[in-house]
Amino acid sequence: MEPQTAKAQTGKVQKQMQNCLNNLGVSLTVCWQPDASKTVHGELKEKLLLIYDADEKEAWATFSHEICEFKLQSVTRPYRLLINSLIEAFEKSVYAQKEEFIDFLPKVMEVIKESQASEA
């Protein structure tokens, strides 16, 4: 396919993909920019859906995958927030216990020294 024809086809497919997003009410902008040097087929960057596949059929498959992943993020977000909150609370508790233990260590040494001195 000639470069100009390939560019026109890419633009046409990108427009079709954008129409799909609009019809689905998905607030993303799609950009199909074939790039064989990329290690991923596509990715979401903020509100931009980037597709890197050169083959049109693969680009559509990646497009579908990325839409599902985008929508799934909204389902899993509450769980991530909950887990992160639990981790934060646990870390605060463990930190407080660690500090209490560190403060206790000199007292242990002092009591041991006093006990040794009184026995002598």
52-65 pLDDT per residue, tens: 999 999 999 999 99
User: Which pLDDT value is given to residue 3?
Assistant: 61
Q: Is pLDDT of 1 > 60?
A: no
pLDDT tens-digit profile of 4-19? 677 888 889 999 999 9
The domain in which residue 56 lies consists of 3-119
- Taking alpha carbons only, the member of 49, 53, 54, 45 closest to residue 20 is 49
Number of domains in the chain: 1
Q: Is pLDDT of 120 > 80?
A: no
- Taking alpha carbons only, the member of 72, 6, 63, 2 closest to residue 30 is 63
| pTM (whole model) above 0.85 | no
